[in-house]
């Protein structure tokens, strides 16, 4: 089965995760895809297959040589983003893309345009898989799953390529930051692994944001507005003050590359009470700590301006930059860079402006950089992926396996 056919099969499964759920997987429908993959893996003849009650699926492609070759792994996640529906996805292949606008949904006037997404122009002449404009596509991360499965099948069909033991894993709930929470690194049994969860072709990432979530709760005092002088404390106005005291140019819409940000993700309020929800991100550990301290400083200032306890700040650490774990082991990065180069792609080594399962796995003892899966505009109706990028990702996996064996 080709990587395209696998991908089209996998996106037919609705696997949205749910950030409000207390279970793992956060949605039972993720298990449906895991069960289908388990059946496919069994038919391929892989060994040491396990699927636990939390939808963590692992398997082994045994070595075909007596040489002592380091065991490496490849990982992708089952779930799609809660940001948009992944139910009843209707993918369409636009063959030999001509560089013009692609009408995704004429009725809803949804158009994928190079004027809004200029990266489309880098894929003229390629075959592009798009949505019908009513759902996300699911390339994040079903493209990664399809690429890993296709690469393993290629290695099965080409036994002349010598390789060591290869482990593969598909996990739930990456999109809600819980993908590595119940991942058994010891059971997986690899020296290192790669997540196939990046975007544009050529991407290789081993740096991600340090991340925290912050909730600001504000207590006001509601009094009849006709008699409120020197009595009323308007929680919503204090919330607006809080938001205004953070640097306006350090928001996601004004930042790129290594620049961090404060992102106001939610705001509710009345006179009596108000709540602000933030995510805080920075690649630099010191700058990240300064960001968290600024939130505390603003909280302290407003409590002095009004009264102690008016503003309450809760900070939850989410994940850390895996660079400190992966960078000292440059051979892991160099192996991937060489593989990408040898299949005719320019490696794009860049920081992830987000998180990845690989970050948490790295801190659990499994160094785990991230390699492109080929998709763009994740999490929404404008998501798309070039067929040729998926095919190249398959070749990169095969080449990594081959190069790893050649080291011994």
Q: Which of 14, 140, 173, 174 is catalytic?
A: 174
Both 173 and 248 in a single domain?
no
Residue of 210, 198, 215 lying closest to 141 (CA atoms): 198
CA atoms within 13 A on the CB side of 159: 4
Question: Token pair of 196, please?
Answer: 């196939």
The parts of the chain modelled with pLDDT lower than 50 are none
Assess whether the previous peptide bond of 324 is cis (omega < 30° from 0): no
Helix (H) or strand (E) holding 33: helix 29-44
Both 264 and 150 in a single domain?
no
Span 312-340, pLDDT tens digits? 999 998 889 999 999 999 999 999 999 99
In the residue annotation, 357 being an active-site residue is answered as no
**DSSP-assigned letter for residue 272:** S
CATH of the domain at 358: 3.40.630.10
**Residue 54 has what pLDDT?**
98
Question: Token pair of 166, please?
Answer: 């290869």
Both 7 and 145 in a single domain?
yes
Domain boundary among 319, 345, 360: 319
- Euclidean distance between CA atoms 374 and 383, whole angstroms: 11
Structurally, how many domains does the chain consist of?
Answer: 2
Interhelix angle 387-406/330-342, rounded to 10 degrees, is 130
Span 43-87, pLDDT tens digits? 999 999 999 999 999 999 999 999 999 999 999 999 999 989 999
Both 181 and 273 in a single domain?
no
What's the Cα-to-Cα distance from 337 to each of 138, 144, 341, rounded to whole Å? 26, 18, 6
CATH of the domain at 288: 3.30.70.360
Q: Which domain holds residue 14?
A: 3-207+322-406
Both 220 and 194 in a single domain?
no
Both 19 and 127 in a single domain?
yes
Domain boundary among 319, 340, 374: 319
Span 98-141, pLDDT tens digits? 999 999 999 999 999 999 999 999 999 999 999 999 999 999 99
**Residue 318 has what pLDDT?**
86
**Residue 300 has what pLDDT?**
98
Both 298 and 350 in a single domain?
no
Residue of 168, 105, 175, 186 lying closest to 140 (CA atoms): 175
Q: pTM higher than 0.75 for the full model?
A: yes
**Residue 177 has what pLDDT?**
85
- What is the dihedral sign for C-alpha 5, 8, 14, 16? positive
Both 275 and 174 in a single domain?
no
- 239 Cβ contact partners less than 8 Å away, ≥ 6 residues apart: 216, 218, 267, 269, 274, 275, 276
**Cα end-to-end span (Å), the chain:** 31
Both 29 and 153 in a single domain?
yes
Q: The tokens 């939130």 sit on which residue?
A: 295
Domain boundary among 319, 354, 383: 319
**Residue 251 has what pLDDT?**
97
What's the Cα-to-Cα distance from 192 to each of 159, 188, 189, 335, 399, rounded to whole Å? 23, 10, 9, 11, 16
**Residue 142 has what pLDDT?**
98
Question: Token pair of 130, please?
Answer: 């798009």
Both 39 and 142 in a single domain?
yes
**DSSP-assigned letter for residue 367:** -
Both 203 and 273 in a single domain?
no
Both 248 and 280 in a single domain?
yes
**Residue 283 has what pLDDT?**
95
In the residue annotation, 184 being an active-site residue is answered as no
């Amino acid at each position: 089965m080709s990587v395209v056919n696998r991908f089209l099969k996998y996106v037919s499964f609705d696997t949205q995760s749910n950030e409000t759920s207390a279970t793992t997987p956060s949605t039972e429908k993720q298990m449906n895809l895991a069960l289908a993959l388990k059946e496919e893996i069994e038919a391929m003849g892989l060994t040491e297959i396990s699927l636990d009650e939390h939808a963590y699926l692992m398997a082994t492609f045994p070595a075909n040589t007596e040489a002592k070759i380091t065991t490496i792994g490849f990982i992708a996640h089952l779930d799609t983003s809660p940001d948009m529906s992944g139910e009843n996805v209707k993918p369409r292949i636009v063959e030999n893309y001509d560089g013009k606008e692609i009408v995704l949904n004429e009725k809803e006037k949804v158009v994928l345009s190079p004027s809004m997404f200029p990266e489309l122009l880098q894929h003229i002449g390629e075959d592009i898989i798009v949505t019908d404009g009513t759902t996300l596509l699911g390339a994040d991360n079903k493209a990664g799953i399809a690429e890993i499965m296709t690469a393993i099948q290629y290695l099965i069909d080409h036994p002349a390529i010598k390789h060591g033991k290869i482990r593969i894993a598909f996990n739930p709930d990456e999109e809600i930051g819980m993908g590595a929470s119940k991942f058994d690194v010891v059971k997986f049994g690899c020296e290192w692994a790669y997540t196939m969860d990046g975007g544009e072709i050529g991407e290789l990432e081993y740096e991600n944001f340090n991340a925290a979530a912050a909730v600001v709760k504000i207590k006001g005092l509601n009094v009849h507005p006709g008699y409120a002088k020197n009595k009323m404390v308007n929680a919503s106005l204090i919330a607006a003050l809080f938001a205004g005291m953070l640097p306006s140019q350090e928001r996601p819409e004004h930042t790129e590359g290594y620049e961090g940000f404060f992102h106001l993700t939610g705001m509710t309020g009345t006179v009596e009470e108000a709540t602000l929800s933030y995510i805080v991100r920075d690649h630099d550990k010191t700058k990240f700590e300064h960001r968290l301290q600024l939130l505390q400083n603003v909280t302290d200032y407003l409590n002095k301006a009004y009264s102690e306890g008016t503003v309450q700040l809760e900070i939850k650490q989410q994940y850390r930059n895996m660079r400190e774990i992966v960078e000292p082991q440059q051979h892991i990065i160099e192996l991937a860079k060489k593989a990408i180069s040898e299949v005719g792609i320019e490696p794009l080594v860049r920081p992830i402006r987000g998180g990845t399962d690989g970050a948490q796995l790295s801190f659990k003892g499994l160094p785990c950089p991230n390699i492109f899966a080929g998709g763009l505009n994740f999490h929404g109706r404008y998501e798309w992926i070039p067929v040729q990028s998926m095919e190249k990702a398959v070749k990169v996996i095969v080449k990594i396996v081959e190069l790893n064996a050649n080291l011994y």
